[in-house]
Amino acid sequence: MKELDIEQLVADAEKCVRCGLCLSVCPTYRDSQMEIQSPRGRVLLYADQAQGLLDDPLKVLEAAYDCLECRACQTVCPNDVKPGEAAVDAKVTLQGGKPQNMLVKTALAVFHYPLLIDLANLLLVVYQSLGLQWLLRRTRLLERVGLGKLQFAESLLPGRRIRPAMRLFYPKKVEPPGKPKGTVAFFLGCVMNLIFSESSTAAVEVIRRSGWRVLIPRETTCCGAPHIEEGDWFGYKKLAQKNLDYYGRLEVDYILTDCAACGAELKGYLKHFGNDPVYGPLAARVAEKTLMFSEFVAMEGLPGSARFPFATTHQHACHACHAQGVKEQPEQVLSFATDYHPLEGSTDCCGSAGVYNLTHTEESMRILRRKMESVGRSGAEVLTVENPGCLLQLDMGARRYGPEVRVRHIAEVVLEAMKSAEGAAD
């Protein structure tokens, strides 16, 4: 089993000069003003645990779960200390590579079976179509029968119609209008497929209209991000190796994803499998070929007359800007094709952070409220983002706290802009 990297943690703790630069960007420190909730405090705690200096591992585990793993601290740290990544390592080690909570175990097991995700998608489509969502929200029935947490989870679902999963209805290959420039594989993310297939369809359509043949492989399995973030090393390893076996050998020019968490994981397999004689070379190949949707569009460019006729602003998903360094590209694309208004604090986490909004609801909502206040000040009519967890959180934020903005995946805005350039009526 992967172990907590004691040497790395001690080295991190030694590298930390306690300059405090990370404090201003850490959402948990800003909220609590407590050292134990700060990046430098956490790094010391993990290092002490790794060296056997502490006698209450549960407290250390709790500290790791309090961290949003947003990695904003890693972006600003001048000494390359990695408190966000250390939180993941701490969870894995302290739980022996397997989460202990039955509910978490069951939820994570579902991600091993893409067909179950498709089934869940169909249930959501029916649930909305029959008006059950409207009824539950109107009556707050779940809350009334003591299931407040479930009512909150339900309120995260978008108000707009969920479409059938792409895996169920979309072709496995689509061709561009003319001679293909090359071939790309589109990585079907689980939550994108479950809830935002409309956005993924838009992403594929943009890539196709840009002149590329697009494969949408059904061999794709969950990237493993939900598993490793809950300390499930064994589940993560199984999924990662399946993806590496397939994508590491696939003859394509690029592997594209519209989900920041999947992108960070596909590029990050190298960290976990780099030294493996079989999976190391496959992980290197996958990391080299993987691009976020916005990275690809910024690289390809848009037609000069591409125009989206609304004021936009963009929230950077932590897994894009802090984990992959993808920040300029979406801004560049939106500045080119829309009336783009920069968002104050656009690289600060929105409070979604995996399941942080379910496990730390009050803290998450405080973060979200501040985020929506920034969105209001931006004057935008459309708020874009490139990650499903953030889409859910921000969409709920707009309904709960305002302002009246439409929350959209950036791919949908880019497709609209492209269509306007082509004069298409659809």
Nearest approach, Cβ of residue 369 and ligand SF4 (Å): 17
Q: Find out whether 7 and 47 touch, Cβ atoms under 8 Å.
A: no
Nearer to ligand SF4, 16 or 185 (CB): 16
Q: Find out whether 266 and 223 touch, Cβ atoms under 8 Å.
A: yes
**Region 57-86 residues binding ligand SF4, contact defined as CB under 6 A:** 67-73, 76-77, 79, 81, 83-84
DSSP E strands: which ranges in 342-420? 382-385, 406-409
What is the DSSP secondary structure assignment for residue 423, as one 8-state letter? T
Rounded to an integer, what distance in angstroms lies between the CA atom of residue 244 and that of residue 378?
A: 41
Cα 370 to the chain's mean position, in Å? 20
CA–CA distance from 9 to each of 72, 109, 264, 381 (Å)?
Answer: 18, 30, 21, 44
Nearest approach, Cβ of residue 425 and ligand SF4 (Å): 45
Nearer to ligand SF4, 10 or 120 (CB): 10
- Which of residues 9, 26, 266, 382 is near ligand SF4 by CB under 6 A? 26
Nearest approach, Cβ of residue 320 and ligand SF4 (Å): 15
Using CB under 6 A, count the residues that bind ligand SF4: 28
Nearer to ligand SF4, 25 or 390 (CB): 25
Nearest approach, Cβ of residue 199 and ligand SF4 (Å): 26
Rounded to an integer, what distance in angstroms lies between the CA atom of residue 12 and that of residue 122?
A: 46
What is the DSSP secondary structure assignment for residue 230, as one 8-state letter? T
Rounded to an integer, what distance in angstroms lies between the CA atom of residue 340 and that of residue 321?
A: 18
Q: Is omega for the bond preceding 281 within 30 degrees of 0, making it cis?
A: no
Quote the Cα angle for 100-104-105, to 5°. 70
Q: Does 9 bind ligand SF4 (CB under 6 A)?
A: no
Q: Does 90 bind ligand SF4 (CB under 6 A)?
A: no
| SS3 at position 383 | strand
Nearer to ligand SF4, 216 or 367 (CB): 367
Rounded to an integer, what distance in angstroms lies between the CA atom of residue 347 and that of residue 370?
A: 13
Q: Does 21 bind ligand SF4 (CB under 6 A)?
A: yes
Nearer to ligand SF4, 81 or 104 (CB): 81
Q: Does 150 bind ligand SF4 (CB under 6 A)?
A: no
Q: Does 400 bind ligand SF4 (CB under 6 A)?
A: no
Nearest approach, Cβ of residue 130 and ligand SF4 (Å): 40
Nearest approach, Cβ of residue 100 and ligand SF4 (Å): 22
Nearer to ligand SF4, 43 or 124 (CB): 43
Strand order in the sheet with 339-340: 339-340, 311-314, 382-385, 406-409
Q: Does 392 bind ligand SF4 (CB under 6 A)?
A: no
Q: Does 22 bind ligand SF4 (CB under 6 A)?
A: yes
Q: Does 40 bind ligand SF4 (CB under 6 A)?
A: yes
Q: Does 264 bind ligand SF4 (CB under 6 A)?
A: no
Q: Find out whether 187 and 240 touch, Cβ atoms under 8 Å.
A: no
Nearer to ligand SF4, 28 or 197 (CB): 28
From 12-20, 128-136, 253-261, 405-413, span contacting ligand SF4 (CB under 6 A): 12-20
| Beta-strand pair 173-174/213-215 | antiparallel
From 20-28, 101-109, 114-122, 363-371, span contacting ligand SF4 (CB under 6 A): 20-28
Q: Does 27 bind ligand SF4 (CB under 6 A)?
A: yes
Nearer to ligand SF4, 225 or 382 (CB): 225
Closest alpha carbon to 168 in 123, 121, 219, 225: 121
**Those residues with Cβ within 8 angstroms of residue 362's Cβ, 6 or more apart along the chain or in another chain:** none
b/e burial code for range 8-25 (CB count within 10 A of at least 16 → b): bbbebbeebeeeeebbeb
Nearer to ligand SF4, 72 or 398 (CB): 72
Q: Does 28 bind ligand SF4 (CB under 6 A)?
A: yes
Rounded to an integer, what distance in angstroms lies between the CA atom of residue 41 and that of residue 37?
A: 7
Q: Which residues pair with 340 in a beta bridge?
A: 312
Nearest approach, Cβ of residue 33 and ligand SF4 (Å): 13
- Which of residues 9, 39, 254, 390 is near ligand SF4 by CB under 6 A? 39
Nearer to ligand SF4, 90 or 202 (CB): 90
Nearest approach, Cβ of residue 383 and ligand SF4 (Å): 22
Nearer to ligand SF4, 164 or 354 (CB): 354
**Site of interaction with ligand SF4 (CB under 6 A):** 16-22, 25-28, 39-40, 42, 67-73, 76-77, 79, 81, 83-84, 87
